Amino acid sequence: MSSQDRPLGVTPPISTSLPTDAEHAVNESLLEELKRQNTFESPAETAKREKVLEQLQLICNEFVRRVAREREAGSEALIKEARGRIFTYGSFRLGVYGPGSDIDALVVAPKYVTRDDYFKLFPGLLQEIPPTGAITDLAVVSDAFVPIIKFDFLGISIDLIFSRIASLKQLPKDKDWNLKDSNILRGLDEAELRSLNGTRVTDEIISLVPEPSTFRLALRAIKLWAQRRAVYANIMGFPGGVAWAMLVARVCQLYPKATSSVVVNKFFHIMRRWPWPQPVLLKAVESGPLQVRVWNPKLYKGDQFHLMPIITPAYPSMCATYNITKSAMTVIQRELQRGCEITDSVMMSKQPWSDLFVKHAFFTSDYKHYISVITTSTTKEAHKIWSGYVESKVRVLVQGLEQHPSIALAHAFNKGYDRRHKCSSEQEINQVQEGSLDYLLKAGDSSAGDPAEGNKSPRRPADGEHPEITPEATETIVFTTTHYIGLELVEGAKSLDLSYQVDSFKQLCGQWEKFNSNLNYLSVQHVRNVKLPDDVFEPCETRPQKKSATNG
């Protein structure tokens, strides 16, 4: 258990006052609201997660034993004792997972086990050891930035990554053994370092908060708020789960005895007034023991460009928010301001917590002008790769738009919209590529076989081949993903010629080595609020209306 007396953080606490009765009461109502909002899963579902993790541990041991038998033949004692270890990270490890959360886990193995062994043997063991049908949707992504095996285990999605420990021939049996000691990083390559990083960061965050249960409830509230307000998305230039967790952890350090409700209220005030670009740190940044780059704006010019640096506590410390754009920062500041106002009034019991979690108005009233970035592909496989790449570059377009003299703010919505279209001619495909929704397949529309699966052979074109459109075989399923960027114009803005920004963005994406002009397409369009498609609105929402001339 964490010590109540040891001060945590890079400064002393702001207040060590104990909560008042009123604060306890508001805390109770926060817990009730989070339950009502379905952020907790049932004990039975959590028990299932534990069972899945036990199974994974057994598979992990068997995996290491098999490699040991092959590579350490003769060392009977070593083979007999050979074992691996499953660690978790992400929302499960932080204790803030909900009904839909995955389990992010890491396989740790002794020095003689390689990443190649992991990708060669582990998928087979997943098919072999658990009962038939327990593992579904297995996908192996060995060439990713963080190489990963993804699958569903009894319906729970699992992200499983791997690292060995180069200094250990045998992993300790001790249940309390962990990855905290930075010396375990010695001798590892970049991918292995990154794989160990997730668990090391989450473990450090928890060990650096004065009261983990207070932290967890407050973080659940902040995560829900950030998701509802669409300011949760690392890839779109907003903080992701780890960054929001670190901000909440910092506030917990500053108010070590406070309730979660007070932490949430103080979170908005402290973060609203944070003197960016001064970094948010949970502890002093360590510079060793390895020769690995650590976040340091005095040493690295690139680190000076981080607008809202939030620094991970585990060595080697990194900036979790290097993605944040100028516009995203403005949007975050506005949302923090809104959070200040609402939670101040909630703390005085003048407003309910539910007001904090009201959905954003990105499409309904925030903007008049939108830019839509439409990626199109004619096969499902090609679309996954292409849309993923373009998504990771939308921030670059945002940064370009921010430079435009007529644009005050370019706000990228935090998620893209996936759509499927049924086209019966080359011309219709072209229209879809340019943003037409005339051939949209509604969810559940099965008139084209199983549209989720895309074009079935023989109509599905081979890789690199253009889908053949003949009078007999007339249906092509076209896949699109659209990202919306809301624009705020400067006062008195006249022209809105974005061709320079748009062309440079298209050029950047088109230069990607995996871009296939036969299968992939990219279009960028200007959309007025009154022309936004139906599916970005909930049934209960009011669409933006064209102002009638008489209303002026």
Under the binding rule (CB under 6 A), the answer on residue 97 touching ligand 3AT is yes
Pairwise CA distance, residues 406 & 369, whole Å: 12
- To Mn ion, the closest distance from the beta carbon of 41 in angstroms equals 13
Pick the closest to residue 242 from 155, 317, 160, 340 (CA basis): 317
Active site residue 223: yes
- Window contacting ligand 3AT (CB under 6 A); options: 6-14, 84-92, 279-287, 378-386: 84-92
- 215 vs 353, beta carbon nearer Mn ion: 215
Of the candidate residues 19, 84, 90, 454, the single one contacting Mn ion (CB under 5 A): 90
Among Mn ion, ligand 3AT, none, partner that 292 touches (CB below 5 to 8 angstroms by kind):
none
Under the binding rule (CB under 5 A), the answer on residue 454 touching Mn ion is no
Under the binding rule (CB under 5 A), the answer on residue 104 touching Mn ion is yes
Tokens standing for 90?
């992400």
- 115 vs 460, beta carbon nearer ligand 3AT: 115
Please tell me which residue in 91, 195, 317, 372 is annotated as part of the active site.
91
Under the binding rule (CB under 6 A), the answer on residue 101 touching ligand 3AT is yes
Counting Cβ atoms within 10 Å, is residue 277 exposed (0-12), middle (13-18) or buried (19+)? middle
- To ligand 3AT, the closest distance from the beta carbon of 425 in angstroms equals 37
- 145 vs 517, beta carbon nearer ligand 3AT: 145
Site for Mn ion in 160-219 (CB under 5 A): none
Under the binding rule (CB under 6 A), the answer on residue 242 touching ligand 3AT is yes
Site for ligand 3AT in 131-150 (CB under 6 A): 145-146
Residues 6+ positions from 374 with CB-CB distance below 8 Å: 433, 434, 435, 480, 481, 482, 522, 523, 524, 525
Active site residue 255: no
- 50 vs 538, beta carbon nearer Mn ion: 50
| Count of alpha carbons within 13 angstroms of residue 254, beta-carbon side | 19
- To ligand 3AT, the closest distance from the beta carbon of 239 in angstroms equals 11
Among ligand 3AT, Mn ion, none, partner that 241 touches (CB below 5 to 8 angstroms by kind):
ligand 3AT
Residue 322 gets the label, from left (phi > 0), alpha (psi -120 to 50) or beta, of: alpha
Size of the residue set binding ligand 3AT (CB under 6 A): 12
Of the candidate residues 117, 159, 211, 391, the single one contacting Mn ion (CB under 5 A): 159
Active site residue 366: no
What single DSSP character describes residue 521? E
- What distances in angstroms separate CA 334 from CA 75, 244, 379, one per listed residue? 63, 16, 40
Active site residue 91: yes
Size of the residue set binding Mn ion (CB under 5 A): 5
Of the candidate residues 39, 55, 91, 414, the single one contacting Mn ion (CB under 5 A): 91
Among ligand 3AT, Mn ion, none, partner that 211 touches (CB below 5 to 8 angstroms by kind):
none
Under the binding rule (CB under 6 A), the answer on residue 467 touching ligand 3AT is no
Spatial strand order in the sheet of 85-89: 85-89, 103-109, 156-164, 148-153, 135-141
Residues in the chain: 552
Under the binding rule (CB under 5 A), the answer on residue 23 touching Mn ion is no
> Is 303 assigned to a binding site?
no
CB-based burial, 432-446: b 16+ in 10 Å, e otherwise:
bbebbeebbbeeeee
- To ligand 3AT, the closest distance from the beta carbon of 161 in angstroms equals 9
Pairwise CA distance, residues 298 & 513, whole Å: 35
Pairwise CA distance, residues 235 & 242, whole Å: 13
Contact in structure between 413 and 485 (CB atoms under 8 Å): yes
Please tell me which residue in 232, 439, 484, 521 is annotated as part of the active site.
232
List the beta bridge partners of residue 482: 374, 417
**C-alpha 185 chain-centroid distance:** 25
- To ligand 3AT, the closest distance from the beta carbon of 152 in angstroms equals 14
Within a 10 A sphere around the Cβ of 51, how many other Cβ atoms?
A: 13
Tokens standing for 469?
């459109």
The DSSP code sequence of 298-357 is TT-GGGGG-SS-BB-SSSSP-BTTTT--HHHHHHHHHHHHHHHHHHHHHHTTSS-GGGGG
Active site residue 137: no
Query: Which residue numbers are catalytic?
Result: 91, 102, 104, 159, 223, 232
Residues that bind Mn ion (CB under 5 A): 90-91, 102, 104, 159
Residues that bind ligand 3AT (CB under 6 A): 89-91, 97, 101-102, 104, 145-146, 198, 241-242
